[in-house]
Chains A and B, each alone.
Chain A
Amino acid sequence: MATEKTSLSFLERNKPYIDDLKHTLFLFRKSKLTMVGFILIVIFLLVAFFGPLFAPYDPIEQNFPARLQGPSREHLFGTDQFGRDIFSRVIHGSRMALWIIFLVSAISGILGTTVGIIAGYFGGLIDDIIMRITDMFLAFPSLVLAMAFAAMMGPNFTNTIIAISLVNWTTYARLARAEAMKVKEQPYIEAIRSVGAGTGRILFLHVLPMCVSPVIVQLTLRMGTIILTAAGLGFLGLGVQPPTPEWGAMVSVGRNFLVDQWWISTFPGFAIVFVVLGFNLLGDGIRDMLDPRLRR
């Protein structure tokens, strides 16, 4: 039997998986908007990774003679009030945005999942207490709460990350809790307990893997929102501080010059729209592609 199996070629052995993948690709190609989102995100990632290598100017160094110039061949997006090249600053800003997305997703995802599975698995009083805490977080609009945290802790990069993570983890906690409650009723959990597995082992080996997939889908769906919140904080002066290139802060600075020098606000604004739109289109597309009810 075993030899029979290995004699099959790799493609034949994995046929069901490959067919499944083909179907996913088919769904992907059928949905134009998902492709658009995908392309936008790929561009965003490429710019974030490699853009700074090609950025024509230093994003921080000031050059007063060239201040407030409109878009031209030397300065594609023009320059700001200190003569810095906006094109270079937007490119460097993409790195900042990517960092924020990555850190916030990691922190709030891990925190939310851990708290959620503990609440769901133990239930009772622990569950009640944790869920009432998440209710408190969910009772405020997320931007307002993030502003409050950022203002309280003082505006800088670390605190921006902490503030956005703190308003985001509740969503993942609720998702993970719902999954954990479902999983703990499964007969195999009782079977595993009866052969001597302790609580920690059950939680992390058997409950956790079942809870991460909805959390991951939700994480990708919320990446656009994270950027928007970060840009919002930056715009209000509660996020990453100048001179670090951050899109929200750049839009905010440009407001003073909006009438005569429209490019200072507009290009960073476009960058935000571009990325948020990309994440939202891609997120919706992924959700539809993975939805078993919409498949075959």
Chain B
Amino acid sequence: MDLRGNLLDIRELRVTFHTYRGVIKALNGVNLWMDKRERLGIVGETGCGKSVTAQSVMRLIEEPGKITHGEVWFETRNLLALSEDEMTKVRGREISMIFQEPKSSLNPVFKSGFQIKETLLNAKKATPATAEAEVEKILGYVGMDAARVKNMYPHELSGGMAQRVMIAMALATQPKLLIADEPTSALDVTIQAQILELLSDLTHKMGNAVMMITHDMGIVAEFCDRVVVMYAGNAIEIAATKELFRNPTHPYTQGLLRAVPRVGRPGELKAIPGTVPDLVDPPEGCRFHPRCDYATEGCKKELPPLLEIEPGHFVSCYLCQDGGCKPVKKGEEEPW
């Protein structure tokens, strides 16, 4: 098997949710990959499938959701082919996840130290004798007064502290991949910066790869090596962070960047017209075509393949085929 990334390779992943309204096609053949120690950002609007992608990697999709197609290669194994028991061993030990709402992600009836200890023991990363010391060490890593915090219940922690405990818990088992599902969305801006810095330092030191799911372009620019832009269940553009900000190619990516305020760029922000399509009945072909200024008849027929327009820069758009990629004339307007 020729894997595109040496840590993770998601191929043609399709996920559907069966509801009374119909079948929601949440993921429509997602392709993305990661190398070891890499920091990959996944951006997109609400409902574009960022979190579902993460949950599929962990195999935490709940009823009525179902992975209908695709492969998730983690190192040398296809995670979707593992038994539930084998998958339980992957979770926590090799892939960990932190969530958006840190305070409700901790069990309210146990002290935070106990919850970290349980995770360690469960992953067999510590023995009952060494666990206590290990917990204090880890809480120290995330910048907390271990002796005090380990005896605190989740309701006694602030949001930022709770997220630090979650990070401690997720990294305690030294996973190869940490999935962070909007880890700072529920926190205020100063705490956001601290948490990001902490994540950055720790994963740098421990050598974990990070999949950062966010809708904040600022976090992407700050934190990630490479970015995947998702729209309505597809990865539509993949590029190194600098390349993406310098040379956004998919019309949707361009729209996203135009909608972000920038220092030194006066004038109104331009929103992308229209709304995210209903995924029960998504548009045929490229799912962005109803909102796209450059859509042609061809866009309505078939989903454009992910093409490499420059080394490491992949785009799923018909405008970019045949070498020419000119959704916007250079020089005339460079709004991003």
Chain A residues engaging chain B, CB cutoff 8 angstroms: 1-2, 123-124, 186-188, 190-198, 201, 205-206, 209-210
Contact = CB atoms under 8 A, between A and B. Distances in A.
Contacts of A123: 63
Given A195-B119, A196-B89, A209-B109, A2 B148 contact: yes
Given A188-B105, A206-B107, A197 B122 contact: yes
A196 B88 contact: yes
B97 interface: yes
Interface stretch (B18-26, B165-173, B242-250, B290-298): B165-173
Interface in B80-113: 85, 88-93, 96-99, 101, 104-109
Contact of B91 (A124, A188, A193): A193
Interface of B: 58, 60, 63, 85, 88-93, 96-99, 101, 104-109, 118-119, 122-123, 145, 147-148, 166, 169-170, 173, 179
A90 B145 CA distance: 61
Contact of A188 (B58, B93, B106, B145): B106
A2 B147 contact: yes
B125 to A, nearest CB: 10
Closest 9 CB pairs of A and B: A196-B92, A194-B97, A191-B105, A195-B92, A196-B91, A187-B104, A188-B107, A198-B88, A195-B119
B106 A195 contact: no
Given A1-B145, A191-B97, A191-B166, A196 B106 contact: no
A191 B163 CA distance: 12
A205 B91 contact: no
A4 to B, nearest CB: 10
Contacts of A190: 60, 99, 105
Contacts of A206: 107
17 contacts: A123-B63, A186-B104, A187-B105, A188-B108, A192-B107, A193-B91, A194-B60, A194-B91, A194-B99, A194-B179, A195-B119, A195-B173, A196-B88, A196-B89, A196-B91, A196-B96, A198-B88
A286 B170 CA distance: 41
Contact of B96 (A2, A124, A195, A209): A195
B148 A191 contact: no
A84 B166 CA distance: 69
B63 A124 contact: yes
B87 to A, nearest CB: 9
Nearest to A198: B88
Given A186-B104, A191-B99, 11 more contacts: A1-B148, A2-B148, A190-B60, A190-B105, A191-B166, A194-B97, A195-B119, A196-B88, A196-B90, A196-B122, A198-B88
A193 B106 CA distance: 12
A149 B257 CA distance: 73
B93 to A, nearest CB: 6
A194 B96 contact: yes
A196 B173 contact: yes
A222 to B, nearest CB: 25
Given A1-B145, A2-B147, A195 B97 contact: yes
A187 B119 contact: no
B101 A187 contact: yes
B84 to A, nearest CB: 8
Contacts of B63: 123-124
B105 A196 contact: no
Contact of B106 (A1, A124, A191, A194): A191
A210 B109 contact: yes
B25 to A, nearest CB: 23
Q: Among the interface residues A124, A190, A206, A209, which one has the most CB atoms of the partner chain B within 10 A?
A: A190
Contact of A196 (B104, B123, B166): B123
Contacts of A195: 91-92, 96-97, 119, 122-123, 169-170, 173
